Amino acid sequence: MTDKQSFSEKTALVANWQNLQRIFIRPETEESRAVLVKYMEQILFGLHDFLRKHVGITKEASLKKLSEQFTDSRINVNPVKKLADVIRGIIEDIAPHAVNVASPYFIGHMTSAIPFFMVHLQTIVAALNQNPVKLETSKIVSALERQVLAKIHRRIYNQNEAFYNEHIQQPDSTFGSFVEDGTLANLTALWVARNFFFKPRPGFAGVEKEGMMAACQAYGIERCVVLVSQLAHYSLRKAGGVLGIGNTNILPIEVDANNTINLDKLKSAVQAIQKNDPKTKILALVGIAGATETGTVDPLPKIAELCAEHKIHFHVDAAWGGPTLLSEKYRSLLSGIEKADSVTIDGHKQFYMPMSCGMVYFKDPHIMDVVAYHAAYINRPGSVDLGIRSLVGSRAATSLILKSALEIMGTEGYALLIDHGIETARAFAEEIQKRPLFELVTRPQLNILTYRIFPEPIRKEWDAADTQKRKALTERLNNINIIVQRLQREAGKSFVSRTTLRRAGREDTVVLRSVIMNPMTTMEIIREILDEQEHIYHSQFAIQA
């Protein structure tokens, strides 16, 4: 291939057969290889150099104006760009208006910087392009995935060596599965719980085959329910909707002052259903290990006891908190998780993997049999195809990323990140308590905290106010916090998110929410972010004493 025929030439647009074939052929010449490598360099550093220059979450530009660039709904007939143009376009036109989730000033969501090597690992997955749905499109990667599942399973459940030796490469055993994200992991867990509950009985082939109507009739009930803390992720409601359980049957239980599920209320709810409501059955109780809004961990050992007592499926949503198990210092925060029948963990959260990787684990390596599917051309009974017990079919070999990341980081490497997040969040909370403008709303248990602007003058009014007056004051506070959060986001330097906490007997409270997972987020940066919030507040609201 001469220079003239290289990828960088205008002539290399692909809509003729010769050029088209070229993009499928491994380049043989030094020149053509060099061009492809150069593109990777641009991607690695062109994008990152931009991000370095723009420390804020995104360059200012209204969404409406941005959207106007994306209104052509026709697909170009002829090629309009080459790879070089695409890369340049993304660096110049897209990246500046994307969100710089890697900024240490971006502490509003569960998305953060990822280690450099993760980009390489994702590239490997794309270059190999294996599909773990079946052995015939993945082979060794299927065996590798089984190992990764076992490694995380062992961290959660800590069964003995013999147990893992028996099941790790045994095709009939399933420790869990990789899915797109935590939503699908929670969905898978409740799918399994539902099918396990409504198992076949004489005259009934099981809920998977016959559906929920027939299942309820066969079991003589009107509905089944799942009990969760009111702080549960909305994906659990969605799972209830999808599975035909009904999302209003995902019953929210009030939380304690520390934002974990109120055990008395949970117990009462379980007892009330079991005693007084023979037409309702409890499918599962869910404990949260790292609530999305507050980072709090439910009392898992107590929920486990309750589940054991009443023979109810115990699911733990550790999408966020799961990797805390890699920290010797803080893993005890998740005590009780080993009693769960199923556990959700996200790879793209605290395993610092690229978007996206969800995982669900099951204590019993045979429980996923209740969701097994076969077909004539793959996933045949007795085969080792991983697609037999899986919500999803075709998928990327993300297990290869996690396996490699564990080798590069070790539990110690991950522990450093986890410990930094938890300890920085605690220092953050202390800093908030030192500043008179702020109120700490939820104390960080893991590495998430919420707080709000609660100015001195309003505090004084608050103390003297009756219920009616407090309602009005809360509205004022909510409004202040909404405006400050929005203005800070729009200024484009820092980002904390906001949410609304609903608490029994109190008005809905708008809070600022911070998630500390970027190791570059130092206390200096946090103080800058708080300074900026104070500055915005003072410049907008002239209600200071």
Taking the complex as a whole, the smallest distance from the CB of residue 501 to its own copies amounts, in Å, to 8
Taking the complex as a whole, the smallest distance from the CB of residue 183 to its own copies amounts, in Å, to 4
Taking the complex as a whole, the smallest distance from the CB of residue 449 to its own copies amounts, in Å, to 14
Phi-psi region of 520 (alpha: psi -120 to 50; beta: other; left: phi over 0): alpha
Single-letter amino acid, residue 116: F
Widest distance between CA atoms in the chain: 83
Tell how far CA 83 is from the center of its chain.
31
Taking the complex as a whole, the smallest distance from the CB of residue 350 to its own copies amounts, in Å, to 13
Taking the complex as a whole, the smallest distance from the CB of residue 545 to its own copies amounts, in Å, to 32
Taking the complex as a whole, the smallest distance from the CB of residue 11 to its own copies amounts, in Å, to 14
CB 187 within 8 Å of CB 371: no
Question: For residue 511, how many C-alpha atoms fall within 13 Å in the half-sphere facing its CB?
Answer: 21
CA dihedral angle for residue 196, residue 286, residue 212, residue 374, rounded to 10 degrees: -50
Tokens (6 digits) for 14: 């692909």
CB of 306 or CB of 318, closer to its own copies: 318
Taking the complex as a whole, the smallest distance from the CB of residue 482 to its own copies amounts, in Å, to 11
Taking the complex as a whole, the smallest distance from the CB of residue 544 to its own copies amounts, in Å, to 29
Residues forming a β-bridge with 140 = none
Tokens (6 digits) for 239: 């799972």
User: 């609201």: which residue's tokens?
Assistant: 541
Name 109's Cβ contacts closer than 8 Å, sequence gap at least 6.
Answer: 101, 495, 497, 515
CB of 278 or CB of 410, closer to its own copies: 410
CB of 165 or CB of 539, closer to its own copies: 165
CB of 158 or CB of 539, closer to its own copies: 158
Taking the complex as a whole, the smallest distance from the CB of residue 165 to its own copies amounts, in Å, to 7
CB 484 within 8 Å of CB 540: yes
CB of 71 or CB of 468, closer to its own copies: 71
CB of 208 or CB of 461, closer to its own copies: 208
Taking the complex as a whole, the smallest distance from the CB of residue 464 to its own copies amounts, in Å, to 30
Tokens (6 digits) for 419: 């410990």
Q: Choose among 481, 544, 538: nearest CA to 509.
A: 481
CB 360 within 8 Å of CB 176: yes
Beta 280-288 vs 342-346: how paired, if at all? unpaired
CB of 83 or CB of 263, closer to its own copies: 83
CB of 262 or CB of 390, closer to its own copies: 390
Q: Running DSSP on this structure, what letter comes out for residue 43?
A: I
CB of 79 or CB of 301, closer to its own copies: 79
Single-letter amino acid, residue 228: V
Instruction: Report the alpha-carbon distance of residue 281 to residue 496 in Å, rounded.
Output: 41
Instruction: Report the alpha-carbon distance of residue 104 to residue 134 in Å, rounded.
Output: 40
Tokens (6 digits) for 278: 């023979």
User: 């599917």: which residue's tokens?
Assistant: 373
Taking the complex as a whole, the smallest distance from the CB of residue 361 to its own copies amounts, in Å, to 13
Instruction: Report the alpha-carbon distance of residue 421 to residue 416 in Å, rounded.
Output: 9
Residue 314 three-state SS: strand
CB of 107 or CB of 306, closer to its own copies: 107
Instruction: Report the alpha-carbon distance of residue 419 to residue 488 in Å, rounded.
Output: 28
Beta 223-229 vs 280-288: how paired, if at all? parallel
Task: Using the Cα atoms of residue 474, residue 475, residue 477 and residue 482 in order, give the sign of their dihedral.
Answer: positive
CB of 486 or CB of 538, closer to its own copies: 486
